[in-house]
Amino acid sequence: MQADLDRALAAVNRVIVDKSEVVELAFSALLAGGHLLIEDLPGVGKTTLAQALSLILGGSWQRVQFTNDMLPADILGVSVFRRDDEQFEFRPGPVFANVVLADEINRATPRTQSALLEAMAEGQVTVDGQTHRLPQPFFVIATQNPLDMAGTYPLPDSQLDRFLLRTAIGYPAPAEERRLLIEPDRRQLLTELNAELDGARVMELIQRAASLHVAEPVIDYIQALIQATRAHAGLRAGLSPRAALALIRTARANALVRGQTFCLPENVKLIFPALAGHRLQPLPESGLSSTDVVEEIIDVTPVP
């Protein structure tokens, strides 16, 4: 089981060059049962990462390119009336897949966005009074362009909370980028990927992650970090207990991804920026970004 996970990780890292940390976060979000938001410029490999993940997981995958004229039904699916047997038939939308890549989610209107986000939160879709369960595992990788770009609707705060982690990808290092240029096309590499995991094994890994040991000092550390966000003068509000629960869950998943049998403060430290960054709003007068605040908190909080 652990070997499968290691192989899956290695395979994805072969495709996505020099971004092992992002890959690790993606796997952590997956095994914590959450969803990932990637915020970056077009062309840094978001889609490739999503495709690689879905191939590795061996399940179905769908890609939804969000546009500003998109409607909720375009994502969730529609009921159509069939003349033959005079019945409504549900045609599932692209959200019915194990891995969904929601590209440029902030190009859609808030109404459409919330349709997806509610599906993510509930794990089910309700159309015309009928409830349809989404497949398990269900993992959404959404991408978002930086907010200052034209023609975007920023995700509202309450919806951002639906994403377990938010991360950026960034440019590769020059040497790695050179490899990217020399090596065959990524798309070709993707076709070489094998499904190292399947739905059942992912569910088992999720359960295993949830029961991983977290020692008292690590819990102390998590509490200290959460408390620091609440005491910070430059923030509008601190992290909620739900965020604290998400932190410990994701730290466990990260420990599993790294092949540990217990949780270390390192796992918490790695997860915390991705988990807290999009949940915290700095006061405008502080002049700080949420990333600055998170880094500052990590720098001053002692590790027990």
Q: Which residues does 203 contact at the CB level (< 8 Å), separation at least 6?
A: 136, 137
User: Helix and strand tally (H, E) in the chain?
Assistant: 13, 9
Contact by Cβ (8 Å): 256, 211: no
The single residue among 83, 261, 284, 285 that binds another protein, judged by CB under 8 A, is 261
The CA distance from 91 to 126, in Å, is 12
Per CB under 8 A, does 301 bind another protein? yes
Instruction: Work out whether 251 is an interface residue with another protein (CB under 8 A).
Output: no
Taking Cα atoms as reference points, which of 102, 133, 137, 122 lies closest to residue 27?
A: 137
CB closer to another protein, 131 vs 261: 261
Which segment (148-156, 197-205, 260-268, 280-288) binds another protein by CB under 8 A?
260-268
Whose tokens are 């040991």? That residue is: 213
Contact 154, 115 (CB under 8 A): no
Among the residue ranges 49-57, 59-67, 100-108, 211-219, the one whose residues contact another protein (CB under 8 A): 211-219
How far is residue 41's CA from residue 251's CA, in Å, rounded to a whole number? 27
**266 part of the interface to another protein, by CB under 8 A:** yes
Asked whether position 300 contacts another protein by CB under 8 A, the answer is yes
Question: In the complex, what is the shortest distance from the CB of residue 224 to another protein, in angstroms, rounded to a whole number?
Answer: 10
Residue 33 in the binding site for another protein (CB under 8 A): no
Return the residue of 121, 215, 231, 237 that touches another protein, per CB under 8 A: 215
Q: Which region among 8-16, 58-66, 153-161, 295-303 touches another protein (by CB under 8 A)?
A: 295-303
Q: Which of 194, 217, 245, 283 binds another protein (CB under 8 A)?
A: 217
Distance (Å) of CA 232 to CA 37, 237, 274: 25, 9, 18
> Is residue 253 near another protein by the rule CB under 8 A?
no
For the chain, the first-to-last Cα distance in angstroms comes to: 31
**Should residue 195 be labelled a site residue for another protein when binding is judged by CB under 8 A?**
no
Smaller CB separation from another protein, 157 or 292? 292
3-state helix, strand, coil split of the chain in percent (to 5) is 50, 15, 35
Contact 264, 272 (CB under 8 A): no
Quick one: which segment of 72-80, 97-105, 275-283, 296-304 binds another protein (CB under 8 A)?
A: 296-304
Closest CA to 47 of 95, 102, 5, 94: 102
Q: Verify binding: residue 269, another protein, rule CB under 8 A.
A: yes
Listed ranges 70-78, 103-111, 210-218, 234-242: which one lies at the site for another protein (CB under 8 A):
210-218
Q: Is 262 in the site for another protein (CB under 8 A)?
A: yes
Please give the helix or strand (H or E) that residue 54 lies within, else none.
helix 46-57
CB of 172 to another protein, least distance (A): 24
| Residue with smaller CB distance to another protein, 95 or 263 | 263
Q: What are phi and psi of 37, to 5 degrees?
A: -115, 125
Identify whether the C-beta of residue 46 lies closer than 8 Å to the C-beta of residue 166.
no
As given in the structure block, the two tokens for residue 43 are 């062309």
- Pick from 265, 273, 277, 282 the residue near another protein by CB under 8 A: 265
Only one of the segments 58-66, 166-174, 194-202, 293-301 lies at the binding site for another protein (rule: CB under 8 A); that segment is 293-301
Q: Which residues bind another protein (CB under 8 A)?
A: 213, 215, 217-218, 261-266, 269, 298-303
